[in-house]
Amino acid sequence: MKAVWSYWRSRWAAFAHDLLSIPVAWIGAYWLRFNLGKIPAEILSQALFILPWVILFQTIAFWVFGLYRGVWRFASVPDAIRIVKAIAVGSLMTLLAVFLMTRLENLPRSVIPLYSMLLMGILGGSRFVYRWYKDKGYLSKTSQRVLIVGAGRAGESLVRDLLRDTKSNYTPIAFVDDDLQKQGKELHGIRVVGTCEDIPEVVKRFALDMILIALPSAKAREMRRVAGICESTTLAVRTLPGISDLVSGLVSVKNLREISLEDLLGRDPVTLDWQAINVALMDKVVLVSGGGGSIGAELSRQVVNLNPKKLIIVENSEYNLFCVQQEFIEKFQRKNVQIEYHLMDVCDISAIHRLVQHYQPQVIFHAAAYKHVPLLEPQIRAAAKNNILGTYSLAQAAINCGAEKFVLVSTDKAVNPTNVMGATKRIAELVCQYFNAQQKTFFVTVRFGNVLGSRGSVVETFQRQLENGGPITVTHPDVTRYFMTIQEASQLILQALAIGKGGELFVLDMGEPIKISYMAEQMIRLAGNKEEDIRIEYTGLRPGEKLFEELFHTREQLGATSHNKILKARHRYMDHQQFELSIIALQHHVSECNEEGIFQLIKELVPELTSTRQSPVQTQSAANQEEILV
């Protein structure tokens, strides 16, 4: 009730001010007309006779053009335009009325223009002075003195919001921008005083307390450069989200957040052919295996927004499936999409075939896989069963039900693998190549590197170690990996689905590889720590790991596609009959728990495998030898 009263009180106060301004401007116009001297009696009498009509017409124009919808505290260009329109219409109405009543007798021709200019000056000037007074009071309060990096549209919008927000604890003091044409210019009274390289000197010169980065469209390399310069000042740094996250295009102080790892390691926003993707999925029955994992869950989110007829999520972890189900119930309950949740292992052949036959999915995304390299190195049977036979089982089911497309989510570790995990994913790629030759279902393979923020990823590990006070463990100072965000990877998988015609091995453009040690250093800084506070400990490469990953084999000739972020690799030759026999043998070895047989078969199917893994026989022999020596 108090807020409502305050609102109406302010509106009536503004109206009363404007109402009193009309006679002041009207009589003032006559006074100016006669050079600030005495106004002749007959003309003054005529002016007072017309005044009530002027007040009436001008008041009507004020209300019609909405002068009291705005707030004086935030008066801006749109308010000035409304004032001009209202005064122009009110003046014309007054002129027409006077003409009809007196044929403009005793009305000097310059009075109406003078009246309009005076009234415009009084109404606009009073609003400007009021806003200046409020802003002056705002700027004089105790708050953090901040530097804005970026004098573009985002920086201008941010400063405008900071100046308006009386509750904000930030006072903009200066801009820096690398555009030399902006040097020395002002935005809302805040001057551009240098480039990004000048940030440390600017911070000292103006005794600043914080840095706000307003570069939402900056590329990751540029963000790393700017963040590095800001870090040298030891001040707190905040940034705006990327332009793709600022959906509305509006920038405000509420958008500010701490710099994230995605800001530093992220890449250019992906442009997708959503129309083609929509055609590929709309009103289709879609199945996602591994739908509780990082990629599978994000794929499912993207698919739901593309209005499929039905989405079937398959996951073998009860907890992950429960989490996805709860999230989707909250987010997508208004969507007209049927979503089915199935707790199922892709290695359960009879259950998978029955599920696929029942729902008859037209599109299948196979994201279910074991992925942790050191863990899988001694677990060769589990890796082969899940990553190879699970893929074979689901692919066979897709063929049997006549699915249109089957998309396998693969990994860069499948290229020249040095570990069990990579080798099993390479054979999963061969499974899709094998089944695509049957020309009943189009099989598409999508290969990419690490995903930022995925469960069990290096980022998650580093975060846990930071929370425990360190140290952060890195295997080797020179180890590098390719990274992209979960959203980008999922969207590019959808794009690959749309452009795939069957048999393609798509390789996503992963950009530049990133040093893991650099990630560790950045995470320490982003957490507000110094490197002397949190130690980085190098532990040596783990079993199956290599210093750098590759995205394609030398015998896979790369070619361009219709999308600049997706490359197409040519499949290497395979003997389909021999491959089928190998899969039968692999099924036998898995059922017999014959790990030596599994390892030898994997070596035959992936001759480029250079795993240092010892076979079970070698391991037992070494153990016996050690026992004898003891």
Give the residue numbers annotated as catalytic, written as ranges: 413
* Alpha carbons 122 and 384: distance in angstroms, whole number: 82
**Closest C-alpha to 415, from 610, 132, 188:** 610
* Alpha carbons 104 and 86: distance in angstroms, whole number: 22
* DSSP symbols for 77-95: HHHHHHHHHHHHHHHHHHH
* Alpha carbons 29 and 114: distance in angstroms, whole number: 5
Tokens standing for residue 430: 């061969």
**Closest C-alpha to 473, from 393, 540, 387:** 540
How many degrees, rounded to 5, is the angle at CA 420 between CA 419 and CA 424?
125
**Closest C-alpha to 579, from 437, 405, 421, 444:** 437
Sort strands 480-481 and 514-515 into parallel, antiparallel or unpaired. antiparallel
* Alpha carbons 112 and 89: distance in angstroms, whole number: 12
Query: How many angstroms separate the Cα of 200 from the Cα of each of 187, 196, 258, 485, 515?
Result: 21, 9, 19, 31, 26
Sort strands 285-289 and 363-366 into parallel, antiparallel or unpaired. parallel
List of E strands, 398-490:
405-411, 442-448, 450-452, 472-474, 480-481, 483-485
471 cis-preceded (ω within 30 degrees of 0): yes
